[in-house]
């Protein structure tokens, strides 16, 4: 006799619960993630749709709140920084980007670009002057590397720094600079007779100006600017003494890319959870949308990619905290996780139908933002070429 049984209904699991991710984290890491998630959910999420629609972010106000939470430069040691491990920093980035990529971008640029450039390559005087203020949020920093015609090829930058007695004179423009109009200090990279060098530039220096970039369709809850340096005169002490050539700025980019490896997964997780919740209450032909096989196939596929991306991020984080992680390994993480996060956000929107195009729901907002994340800190094409070079020993960049 054959007996047919119907599987018992199970308690709904959140996507990452299926992978037992919390079991791979220590108590401090779980606490940090939970703290940032609560802050995003209670303080930031209620305002995100409005900030995105208006194209604004109250950066000065948020900088202090991020500083009070210890998020700014949290993975750096000393000078008022929290000194957490890399995984904790990654988890914080994930929770911030679960709110909006603009939030993670703010913290990432402040900590992994502006502060890291000074912490790693600066003089002790520069560190003492700027890092405590940047860590507390009393000052805001930005990072001037990209130019309108030189993104993937920063070595071709046209911004110059020439000596004039003991001073330096900087001239040029930088483009797509997060926090540019908010910043009190900018790390600016320029061509010199000694190669590419970095400079710590207070933004109230005569000749320095920043212009807000408007009419963006992506990263709207973020301040993006053009920096203009019109014969900006700086003392010799403004130069980052330890950074010579592209090694300096590229090391900073690797720090920021690491945060993106985790951060993009936050946007993906939030999109997927929003789709699951929507499908559970939306009825189609008198049944919940979540009860249809095609919907469950979409949810299952997205959960697989989210979980695999999370395991990759954690592996890179553990390597960074122990034996070290290489730029090529970070390229693996950014390429995969941003690409899959964008696909998840788009697919999540399809489950919501027409409702998904409104700011009432997060997936399309995340998808718009992830179009920028896919491009900045190295395009997908550049990361593919980095991986290809590591595998073959042949450079295909030219």
Residues designated as active site:
377
The DSSP call for residue 165 is: T
Distances (CA, A) of 236 to 20, 126, 240: 53, 12, 9
Q: Locate all alpha helices (DSSP H) within 27-154, ordered by sequence.
A: 27-39, 45-54, 59-69, 86-99, 101-108, 116-121, 124-136
Query: d(Cα 110, Cα 378) in Å, to the nearest integer?
Result: 18
Number of Cα atoms under 13 Å in the Cβ half of residue 311: 12
160/191 Cα distance (integer angstroms):
5
Sequence-distant (6+) residues with CB within 8 A of 242 are 120, 121, 122, 248
Task: Give the number of residues written for the chain.
Answer: 398
* DSSP letter, residue 163: E
């Amino acid at each position: 006799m054959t007996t047919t049984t119907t599987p018992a209904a199970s308690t709904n699991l959140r996507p990452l619960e299926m992978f037992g991710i919390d079991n791979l984290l220590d108590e401090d890491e779980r606490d940090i993630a939970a703290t940032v998630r609560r802050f995003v959910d209670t303080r930031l999420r209620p305002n995100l749709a409005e900030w995105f629609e208006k194209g604004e972010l109250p950066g000065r106000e948020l900088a202090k709140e991020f500083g009070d939470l210890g998020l700014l430069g949290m993975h750096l040691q000393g000078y008022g920084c929290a000194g957490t491990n890399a995984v904790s920093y990654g988890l914080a980035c994930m929770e911030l980007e679960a709110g909006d990529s603009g939030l993670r971008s703010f913290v990432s640029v402040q900590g992994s670009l502006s502060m890291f450039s000074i912490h790693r390559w600066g003089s002790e005087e520069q560190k003492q002057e700027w890092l405590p203020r940047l860590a507390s949020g009393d000052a805001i920093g930005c990072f001037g590397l990209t130019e309108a015609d030189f993104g993937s090829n920063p070595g071709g930058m046209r911004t110059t720094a020439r000596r004039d007695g003991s001073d330096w004179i900087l001239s040029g423009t930088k483009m797509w600079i997060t926090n540019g109009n908010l910043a009190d200090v900018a790390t600016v990279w320029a061509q010199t007779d000694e190669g590419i060098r970095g400079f710590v530039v207070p933004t109230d220096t005569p000749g320095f100006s920043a212009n807000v970039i408007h009419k963006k369709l992506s990263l709207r809850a973020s301040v993006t600017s053009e920096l203009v340096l019109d014969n900006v005169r700086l003392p010799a002490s403004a130069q980052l003494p330890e950074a010579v050539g592209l090694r300096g700025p590229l090391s900073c980019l690797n720090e920021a890319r690491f945060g993106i490896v985790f951060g993009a997964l936050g946007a993906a997780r939030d999109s997927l959870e929003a789709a699951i919740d929507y499908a559970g209450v939306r009825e189609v032909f008198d049944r919940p949308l979540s009860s249809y096989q095609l919907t469950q196939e979409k949810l299952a596929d997205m959960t697989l990619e989210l979980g695999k991306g999370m395991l990759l991020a954690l592996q890179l984080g553990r390597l960074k905290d122990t034996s070290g992680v290489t730029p090529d390994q970070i390229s693996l993480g950014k390429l995969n996780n941003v690409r899959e996060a964008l696909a998840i956000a788009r697919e999540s929107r399809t489950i919501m139908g027409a409702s998904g195009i409104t700011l009432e729901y997060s997936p399309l907002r995340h998808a718009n933002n992830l179009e920028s994340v896919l491009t900045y800190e190295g395009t997908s094409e550049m990361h593919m070429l980095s991986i290809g070079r590591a595998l073959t020993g042949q450079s295909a960049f030219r």
